[in-house]
């Protein structure tokens, strides 16, 4: 290989540059994800590496395109954006064939920034990794979310190994999914980690008081197992059954015998009817990178929260 500059490609005018790049498997095309000042102008620019000329523009993203991937036949593109939008494109016609939205299931299903997207070896599924560390598998034939694997750090990415039909998590190289013949890949516990973490949970308060500005508490987590535990995250269960939301938190790593603290916050729903005082239970679970789940119930007392009706306001 010679260490000389072969070609320079420039972003279109009125853009803020490129934020992602991909070369097609046949080495004929270069695709670049744009970040622009105008939402409607975010998209993908494609150049021919043979002619060194601009080939095609794909528009349709409302946010910067943070990741791009080609399928193995160089006939389709998948793109992921910082607003959680994922698009699949017909590379020949330039048409958009699929739309998905990556959601943060650990934070009330808010939109989740896409860090990396790839096609599977069969090109009938795509794997996306989000900012919160969730790895999602989307089936293009059924147009559905097929699997979700929680775990991994902020800023993680996924790497494909088409020769062995497997996918690796980019932050630590652990195996996260593998495909066998024509069977779609299924998420696996990351290799090298404990199959079953053993955590001991203790809440800092017997009851958490939640007012108009919310309430805070700590969850003390001890590793009672024989191996380190990674990416321990708190998630709220049964969100629709209680008028409060947990603001999640996570621990990166707990060594054997080590104790860590999760600083958690609970906020009341802004649209809930007024209550002077009410007791309820908040059901949580801790999820680890190895796929272990630890449920815990937190008693909560609401006081002076919610929207007052007109008669109550006049009475006061």
232 burial type by CB count under 10 A (0-12 exposed, 13-18 middle, 19+ buried): buried
pLDDT at 313: 47
Which position has the token pair 């992921």?
Answer: 80
pTM metric for this prediction = 0.53
pLDDT at 109: 45
HSE value, Cβ hemisphere, 13 Å, CA-based, for 102: 32
Taking the C-alpha atoms of residue 247 and residue 172, their distance in angstroms, rounded to an integer, is 27
Element (H, E) at 277: strand 275-287
Closest among 261, 267, 273 to 310, alpha carbons compared: 273
Taking the C-alpha atoms of residue 146 and residue 155, their distance in angstroms, rounded to an integer, is 22
Listed in sequence order, the residues at least 6 apart from 82 whose beta carbon sits closer than 8 Å to its beta carbon are 63, 64, 66, 113, 114
Which domains are present in the chain?
Answer: 15-187 (2.130.10.10), 199-305 (2.60.40.10)
One pLDDT digit (tens) per residue for the chain, 316 residues: 455 555 676 666 666 678 888 999 999 999 998 887 666 678 898 989 888 888 888 988 888 898 999 998 899 999 999 888 899 999 888 899 988 887 654 444 456 788 888 887 778 888 888 776 677 778 888 887 776 655 444 435 455 555 555 555 554 455 555 555 555 555 444 444 445 788 999 998 889 999 988 999 999 999 998 888 887 888 888 766 788 888 878 888 899 999 999 999 998 887 778 888 899 999 988 888 777 788 899 999 999 888 776 554 444 5
């Amino acid at each position: 290989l010679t260490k000389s500059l072969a070609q320079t490609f420039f972003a279109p005018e009125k853009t803020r540059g490129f934020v992602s790049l991909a070369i097609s498997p046949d080495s004929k095309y270069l695709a670049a994800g744009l970040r622009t000042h105008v939402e409607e102008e975010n998209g993908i620019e494609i150049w021919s590496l043979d002619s060194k000329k601009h080939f095609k523009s794909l528009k349709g993203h409302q946010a910067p395109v943070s990741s791009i991937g080609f399928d193995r036949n160089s006939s389709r593109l998948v793109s992921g954006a910082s607003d959680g939008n994922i698009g699949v494109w017909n590379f020949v016609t330039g048409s958009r064939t699929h739309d998905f939205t990556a959601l943060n299931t650990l934070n009330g299903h808010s939109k989740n920034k896409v860090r990396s997207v790839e096609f599977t070896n069969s090109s009938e599924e795509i794997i996306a990794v989000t900012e919160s560390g969730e790895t999602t598998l989307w089936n293009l034939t059924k147009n559905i979310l097929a699997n979700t694997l929680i775990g991994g750090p902020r800023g993680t990415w996924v790497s494909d190994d088409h020769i062995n039909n497997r996918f690796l998590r980019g932050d630590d190289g652990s195996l996260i999914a593998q495909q066998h013949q024509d069977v779609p890949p299924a998420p696996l516990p990351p290799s090298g980690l404990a199959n079953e973490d053993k955590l001991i949970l203790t809440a800092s308060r017997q009851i958490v008081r939640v007012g108009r500005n919310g309430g805070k508490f700590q969850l003390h987590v001890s590793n009672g197992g024989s191996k380190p535990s990674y990416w321990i995250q708190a998630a709220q269960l049964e969100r629709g059954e209680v008028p409060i939301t947990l603001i999640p938190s996570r621990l990166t790593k707990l060594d054997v015998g080590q104790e860590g603290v999760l600083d958690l916050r609970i906020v009341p729903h802004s649209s809930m009817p007024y209550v002077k005082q009410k007791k309820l239970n908040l059901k949580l679970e801790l999820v680890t990178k190895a796929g272990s789940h630890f449920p815990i119930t937190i008693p909560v007392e609401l006081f002076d929260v919610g929207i007052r009706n007109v008669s109550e306001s006049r009475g006061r």
